[in-house]
Chain A
């Protein structure tokens, strides 16, 4: 009649990680998780940025050697990733703010799709400029 298989006991950390579990979820949840991931990424970037700027205190040679690295294609790719994160977080932030003020609540999905399309276009343009200019 029955066959048995073990499952892990539900624990507190597992429950908290549900916020990142997008299985069987919808567009709003994808936006929510995307916003958190980009948010965490941008916070990490902020500290990296401050650390890099602090090389200025060690004189022009330290700064110039960093700039040399910053011009490499691998580093420029990181710039594009940063641009994607900023665009997703910033544009989705506009959607969340509007909705949070009770504006365009019924259009949250359309707003997300539209703003993410805008993010994709801006990323393409940005990437082109980053690698060609």
Chain B
């Protein structure tokens, strides 16, 4: 069965005025919102939007659907229409706007790179376990961890947490939920004291963990359960322990 969907689409082109334009598209009733965006594009090929995998693993298509940051590739049209007569689609907030639904993610990725995490997933590249980092899966006595921690590779770098974060709205310099979660994840992958120290210093900076004002919106909005707010609090805990130890001369100064 097909359904007709009214779409209120944010439109903007460099030099022009931002505006909303309403389209009516017909999609199968089990379609997702990304299908709606693609149908709009078929009507109007000047629509700029980003997409790639269609299954929530690339993080490319993130937009705001009815004001909520979502991956349109996994939000059913039926769900987006629940309790309303049209679907509103807007670009992410807190990013420079390129046009229509496309935002400039360059600055975001620069922060993501700072933690030194690789984007590929070496641990999942092979199934024989040979490329697993021992600290990731095994405890000190060599047994499997009863509670393996939430791997940061869950993060698909979609930018949804940046759009949801109220601190990000006030300053672009804030490292941001994803960037700080990346630092936290990178800390867990290494036993190298110097590297740990550098990562903690990065998190401790003026625009690091202390800039977060605990609105928890990143964790609420994250489509991949990365829980950036919890990572930020864990980093603070490590930093506080480090600072207290340093204060009483129990730890090495950074």
Which positions in A face B, CB cutoff 8 Å?
1-10, 15-16, 18-19, 23-29, 31-32, 96, 99-103, 105-106, 108
By the criterion CB–CB under 8 Å, are A100 and B233 in contact? yes
Main SS class of interface, B: mixed
22 A–B contacts, CB within 8 A, in A order:
A2-B21, A3-B21, A4-B20, A5-B22, A6-B17, A9-B17, A10-B18, A10-B97, A15-B94, A23-B67, A24-B68, A25-B217, A26-B217, A26-B220, A28-B214, A28-B220, A29-B215, A29-B216, A31-B215, A32-B216, A102-B234, A105-B230
Is B93 an interface residue when CB atoms closer than 8 A count as contact? yes
Which positions in B face A, CB cutoff 8 Å?
10, 17-24, 43-44, 66-68, 93-94, 97, 166-167, 169-170, 213-217, 219-220, 229-230, 233-234, 236-238, 240
Residue in chain B with minimal CB distance to A28: B216
Instruction: Report the bound CA distance from A93 to B219 in whole Å.
Output: 20
Residue in chain B with minimal CB distance to A15: B169
Q: Which residues in A have their C-beta under 8 angstroms from that of B240?
A: 101-102
A15-B94, A16-B169, A101-B237 are contacts. A32–B214 as well, Cβ < 8 Å?
yes
By the criterion CB–CB under 8 Å, are B19 and A106 in contact? no
By the criterion CB–CB under 8 Å, are B166 and A18 in contact? yes
By the criterion CB–CB under 8 Å, are A105 and B234 in contact? yes
Q: How far is the CB of A37 from chain B (nearest CB, A)?
A: 13
Residue in contact with B169 in the complex, picked from A19, A26, A27, A100, CB distance below 8 Å? A19
Residue in contact with A32 in the complex, picked from B17, B93, B166, B234, CB distance below 8 Å? B166
Q: Which residues in B have their C-beta under 8 angstroms from that of A28?
A: 214-217, 219-220, 229
A28-B215, A28-B220, A105-B230 are contacts. A5–B20 as well, Cβ < 8 Å?
yes
